[in-house]
Amino acid sequence: MKEMRSAIRLVAVILVIVIAAVSISYGFIIKENRAKWINLANNTRVADAKKITVQGRVLDATGLVLSESSAPGERHYIQNDNLRRALSHTIGDQKNMSFTGVENLHATKLLDMSETKTGYMIQKLTGQSPVGNDLYLTVSAELTEYIYDIFPAWKSGAVCVINFETGAILSMLSLPNYDPADMSLEVQDTAYYNRVLQKRYAPGSTFKMITLTSALENLSGVAEEEFACSGIWNYSDFALRCASGAVHGEMSLTQAFADSCNVTFGSLAHRLGAARLKKTAENFGFNYEFNFEDIRMNASHILTARMNAEDAIQAGIGQGTTEVTPLHMAMISGAIANKGVMMEPKLIKEMKNAQGVTLSTMTSEVFKTVTTPEIAEEVARYMYETVRGGTGTRAAISGYTDGYVCGKTGSAEWTNDKGKDTHAWYTGFLYGDKAHPYAIAVVVEEGGYGGSVAAPLASKILKKAMQLGLY
């Protein structure tokens, strides 16, 4: 009997501990996600508020009105067709088709939901509709339209430009797109899908930034080593080849990075091992459930399943199961430029009420420190050499002397069908230019080689951003 009472007490204690743990976990989840759940436009409270409230405006960083309302239940979008489509995933829509658009994710701000109950009373007593808040975004409509105009015709893909010092998103374009002003139009199956934030791509050789960082962190003296490339490296039953049958021969680590040698970086990943490479990638935000205030972004993945030597080799060159979103890739480049500090991405620059009073302004926040300033500076140097004389030469900006163009190209395999072109990648930044702290990521689906397709696109975009004086 005594033993039974002891067992019952033990079970009771365990039950109390389990209930407490579940309660704490549930409370944490509510705390972390409350804003997201409330802000979703398919919230029934939002639907009710839209019936009585004149939604606030959405404006770009210069004050250009992108969407507005003159009465409850209606919405008008900027008349420029190209501009409206270019910004469709950023603005959002009234049918909640874009989960990442401001009108969807931040509907409660536009409706000033803090005043919903008061709003009902005002309408009932005076017959007047309450008016929501205006949201000024960090994005440049002009830059986004420019990117839309120069993006390769009929290609899908994504581009994002950020201020790596503040985290401000200066532009994001996802293709294909749609028209928020006419939701009756037929669109491609993935047109509502924001590739900048939601699509996870194999990064290809752009991931070599992280492999390089991990090697500099973990392999003593690796920067002074000489490497040999015969064009192919056989590991067990796995053969790793350099792109286009290239044979790089004897070279330094700097040259191996600039020429994007798969053999060298596959062997580096093998020496590092899956655990160390994974740890460095996770320092850069891989395998992390992003929970940002202004945006919703899918997690990037690396080595989440089994981890063997072949997995590490594939991961080291950005293939296998490795995948990343374009915005995260821009954040990775930005962190290298920002001395190892990755900033939280921001989309809302300012919020004002109907009387024009500023209610909130953007505050820059550090997301995480990804590596030391010294290693970040060294990786930036390697990326400069890539643009100066490696695979990224077409990313150079003619006549640019205020800083240095640094970057990395990638040509990512995404299917076993050898008849399909690779996805063309470029990511990089302007280094040492305090007036233009820009980082960029470009991916052109089935575009071919990053150096010939994505890199020149990035050059034009960064030049345009400088001309506009964005910050």
| Same domain assignment for residues 27 and 62 | no
End position of a domain, from candidates 119, 138, 157 = 138
Range of the domain at 8: 1-39
Instruction: Taking residues 178-206, report their average pLDDT.
Output: 94
Read off the pLDDT of residues 407-460 as tens digits, 9 standing for 90 and up.
Answer: 999 999 999 888 899 999 999 999 999 999 999 999 999 999 999 999 999 999
How much is the pLDDT for 14? 56
222 falls within a domain: yes
Identify whether 157 is part of a domain.
no
Shared-domain flag, residues 22 and 50: no
**Could you tell me if 336 and 429 are in contact, meaning their C-beta atoms sit under 8 angstroms apart?**
yes
pLDDT of 177 reads: 96
CATH number at residue 368: 3.40.710.10
Q: Are 414 and 202 in contact (CB under 8 A)?
A: yes
Average pLDDT of the chain is 90
User: Does residue 76 sit within a domain?
Assistant: yes
Letter for the amino acid at 9? R
> Does 245 fall in a domain?
yes
Provide the CA 132 distance to its chain's centre, in angstroms: 29
Q: Do 84 and 126 reside in the same domain of the chain?
A: yes
Cα gap 164→344, rounded to integer Å: 9
Mean pLDDT of 296-316: 88
Pairing of strands 134-137, 348-352: antiparallel
Which pLDDT value is given to residue 419? 87
Angle subtended at Cα 193 by Cα 32 and Cα 292, rounded to the nearest 5 degrees? 20
**Residue 188 counted as domain residue:** no
**Percent of the chain having pLDDT more than 70?**
88
Give the residue with greater pLDDT, 326 vs 244.
326
CA dihedral 416, 417, 420, 422 (to 10 degrees): 10
Per the domain annotation, does 455 fall within a domain?
yes
- Is 155 a domain residue? no
132 and 118, same structural domain?
Answer: yes
Paired tokens of 118: 């008061």
User: In this predicted model, what pLDDT tens digit does every residue of 69-91 receive, in sequence order?
Assistant: 999 999 999 999 999 999 999 99
* pLDDT tens profile 334-387: 999 999 999 999 999 999 999 999 999 999 999 999 999 999 999 999 999 999
Q: In the prediction, which pLDDT does 159 show?
A: 98
Q: Report H helices in 260-316.
A: 262-283, 309-316
CATH number at residue 114: 3.90.1310.10
- The domain boundary residue, chosen from 138, 166, 183: 138
Burial class for 366, CB neighbours closer than 10 Å (0-12, 13-18, 19+): exposed
Residues 454 and 425 in one domain: yes
Per-residue pLDDT at 24 exceeds 60: no
Same domain, 264 and 359: yes
Diameter of the chain by CA atoms? 90
- Taking residues 200-217, report their average pLDDT: 98
Structural domains in the chain (count): 3
Provide the pLDDT for residue 181: 95
Rounded Cα distance between 208 and 102, Å, is 33
Least confident of 8-22, 268-282, 325-339, 349-363: 8-22
Convert the pLDDT of each residue in 143-174 to its tens digit. 999 999 999 999 999 999 999 999 999 999 99
Shared domain for 5 and 84, answered yes or no, is no
Final residue of a domain: which of 24, 39, 54?
39
Looking at the domain assignment, is residue 126 inside a domain? Answer: yes
As a whole number of angstroms, the distance between CA 228 and CA 185 comes to 55
| CA distances to 72, 132, 133, 134, 254 from 355, in Å | 18, 10, 9, 10, 57
CA dihedral 290, 292, 295, 299 (to 10 degrees): 0
Sheet holding 65-68, edge to edge: 76-77, 65-68, 58-59, 134-137, 348-352, 358-361
Give residue 6's pLDDT: 59
Compute CA distances 324 → 197, 198, 240, 420, whole Å.
10, 9, 22, 20
pLDDT at position 113 is 82
Asked if 324 and 200 count as a contact pair (C-beta separation under 8 A), the reply is yes
Alpha-carbon distance of 93 to 84, in angstroms, equals: 11
Find the mean pLDDT for residues 43-71: 92
- Do 385 and 448 lie in a common domain? yes
Within this chain, do residues 415 and 373 fall inside the same structural domain, yes or no?
yes
What pLDDT is recorded for position 34?
A: 42
Q: Are residues 299 and 420 in the same domain?
A: yes
* Co-location of 308 and 340 in the same domain: yes
d(CA 113, CA 359): 14
Same domain, 49 and 86: yes
Q: Pick from 170, 181, 176: which is nearest to 440 by CA?
A: 170
pLDDT at 219 over 50: yes
Which residue is it, tokens 């964005």? 470
Per DSSP, helices labelled H in 249-406 are 253-258, 262-283, 309-316, 326-337, 373-389
The answer, yes or no, to whether residue 186 has pLDDT greater than 70, is yes
